[in-house]
Amino acid sequence: MTAAVLYGKEDLRLELVEVPQAAAGELVVRVGAALTCGTDLKVYRRGYHAMMLKPPIPFGHELAGVVEEVGAGVTAFRRGDRVVALNSAPCDVCFFCRHGQQNLCEDLLFNNGAYAEYIRIPARIVEKNTLVVPDGVPLEFAALTEPLACVVRGLEESGAQAGDTMVVIGAGPIGLMFMHVAELAGAHVIAVVKREDQVEAAKLFGASSVVHVGAVEDVVTATRALTPEGRGADIVIEAVASPSTWEWAVDMVRKGGVVNFFGGPPSGTKVKLDTNRLHYGDITLKASFHHTPATCRTAFELVTSGRFKCAEYITGRAELCEVPEIFARMMNRNGGSRDIKTAVFPEGAPR
């Protein structure tokens, strides 16, 4: 079969590899659709991911498809089932799992290889994080479950409630997802975007107000002016992963508010924060990483219920042979406001 294999920094190759076989407890899934992802782009740019993969390794982690082979002992799935298989599963026995932090599992099992004709699903993921896709839900929509599950957890960890004012810094795929999920939860969303062509995308996905960085003299002042009485936002989500936006986030939140540093900067990145403001403003700073089986199911329900704007979120379609070119292009794109995610179809893009 054909698969995209990452060998290192900006070195992604299409290769012919053996079709995987299902051992006991496992599945082999024929990939129906795999999605491009900001994390995959970051890994492509850096050449590795300390937790999820070390090259050479099959690439990609957002997918849905059809069960091709069922391993011994698997009773919940059968050949022909349409499924979404998440990219990880916790052990549920370590310290962190026992303390309700499955995303920090000491033995978190990751799975990669979505950009391929077939993918093997390890037994633990089959058991804990594989879901049957209802008829009528396109597989490319179901593949949105994984990134959406991370966002759902970030929103839950931030304590968002209906009526809150939330600032989302960044209008990439994750930032737009935060805007949409926050809007669905009843929050008032203010988006802070880098480019003018991102303004309409932010509005499409739920932002009632948008601050274009290049159109204002002071981003923090302009953003706070849009909050009730100018006091700052109840919650600020940072979804860019740069020191400057981390610092903006702290300056945009109100006293007693919450900042969620969702964007993951490179190792060694440092920021400067006003400790006086943090202490006397009683501000909560936190970060959210990854997802849990519970947030995967919440995200899956959002997708399959039709509440999430899946069709608007997937803005490109491609075939497997185009994957290396897609990532090379993503490295240098200036993008348009609708350039969000590309769905890769190993069997050919549907018309």
Looking at residue 333, what is its pLDDT? 63
Amino acid at residue number 139: L
Cβ atoms 232, 212 nearer than 8 A = no
Q: Would you say residue 336 has pLDDT above 70?
A: no
State the average pLDDT over residues 54-65.
93
Q: Residues 6 or more apart from 275 whose CB is under 8 A from it?
A: none
Q: Give CA–CA dist 123/96, Å, rounded.
A: 21
pLDDT in tens, 243-302: 999 999 999 999 999 999 999 888 899 999 999 999 999 999 999 999 999 999 999 999
Beta bridge partners of 318: 344
pLDDT in tens, 304-326: 999 999 999 999 999 999 999 99
The token pair at 276 is 């006086």
pTM of the model: 0.95
Domains of the chain: 2-148+291-345 (3.90.180.10), 159-286 (3.40.50.720)
3-state helix, strand, coil split of the chain in percent (to 5) is 35, 25, 40
For 22, 84, 247, 250, 269, the CA distances from 274, given in Å and listed in that order, are: 54, 44, 9, 8, 17
